[in-house]
């Protein structure tokens, strides 16, 4: 009985060590963000968990949205860079209604309006979305005070700062109904984040489905880290 008990203990210790090593690997893995440097997954999760206390939105959903935005490929921040022609400048790619908001945001942050990466227009619609969360300037300005309160600053939050962007995503998803929890609420919030409307049309529904599938995978990693 003693030898059996000792073997079980050794097996348990081995499994515990392997699980710890896997958890550390997940924490240290780079989490890609659009238009800014990658951060560690553990850091991204920490930011999302801080926001969750305010918004009630599941961190896995927030990180899934950001991962989807990074991996889409069709609306990347390849406009308004220093090397870009004038046809790709913010004045030409952005909806005119957002020009004033964009100037106020960049002025408050001390950022040049030119040279800051912005999303290019897709086949339909305007470009000019900012940072990892892909907020258009007028929407960012609308939520700016709530984002600033969430990250503990006075003044204008930075759309290109990972902590600010992750907090903004969580706040916006809560505003879209994701804080209710559950498959339907989260999926519709993801669709509305992407298009402004609930799931229905094929390409919008595909986005929502992709986000939910990513959230499932991310939740597995989160559960492993938390155990």
What whole-number distance in Å separates Cα of residue 103 and Cα of residue 116? 12
Residue with tokens 């206390």: 53
What whole-number distance in Å separates Cα of residue 203 and Cα of residue 212? 14
pLDDT at 97 over 80: yes
Tell me the C-alpha to C-alpha distance, in Å, between residue 187 and each of 31, 173, 204: 22, 10, 10
Domain boundaries, the chain: 2-226
- Tell me, what's the pLDDT at 77? 74
pTM of the model: 0.88
What whole-number distance in Å separates Cα of residue 10 and Cα of residue 8? 5
Question: pLDDT for 160-197, tens place per residue?
Answer: 999 999 999 999 999 999 999 999 999 999 999 988 88
CB-side neighbour CA atoms (13 Å) of 29 = 15
What whole-number distance in Å separates Cα of residue 90 and Cα of residue 128? 6
* Sign of the alpha-carbon dihedral angle for 142, 146, 151, 154: positive
């Amino acid at each position: 009985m003693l030898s059996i008990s000792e073997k079980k203990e050794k097996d348990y210790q081995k499994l515990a060590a392997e699980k710890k090593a896997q958890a550390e690997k997940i924490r240290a893995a780079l989490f890609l963000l659009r238009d800014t440097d990658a951060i560690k997954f553990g850091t991204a999760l920490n930011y999302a968990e801080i926001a969750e206390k305010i918004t009630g939105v599941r961190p896995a959903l927030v990180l899934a949205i950001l991962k989807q935005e990074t991996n889409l490929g069709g609306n990347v921040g390849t406009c308004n860079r220093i090397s870009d022609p004038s046809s790709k400048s913010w004045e030409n790619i952005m909806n005119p209604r957002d020009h004033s908001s964009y100037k106020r945001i960049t002025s408050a942050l001390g950022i040049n309006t030119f040279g800051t990466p912005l999303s290019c227009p897709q086949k339909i619609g305007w470009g000019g979305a900012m940072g990892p969360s892909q907020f258009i300037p007028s929407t960012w300005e609308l939520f700016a005070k709530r984002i600033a309160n969430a990250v503990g600053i006075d003044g204008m939050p930075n759309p290109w700062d990972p902590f600010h962007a992750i907090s903004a995503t969580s706040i916006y998803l809560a505003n879209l109904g994701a804080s209710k929890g559950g498959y339907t609420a989260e999926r519709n919030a993801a669709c509305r984040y992407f298009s402004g409307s609930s799931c229905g049309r094929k390409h919008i529904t595909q986005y929502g489905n992709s986000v939910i599938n990513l959230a499932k995978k991310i939740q597995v990693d989160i559960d492993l880290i938390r155990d």
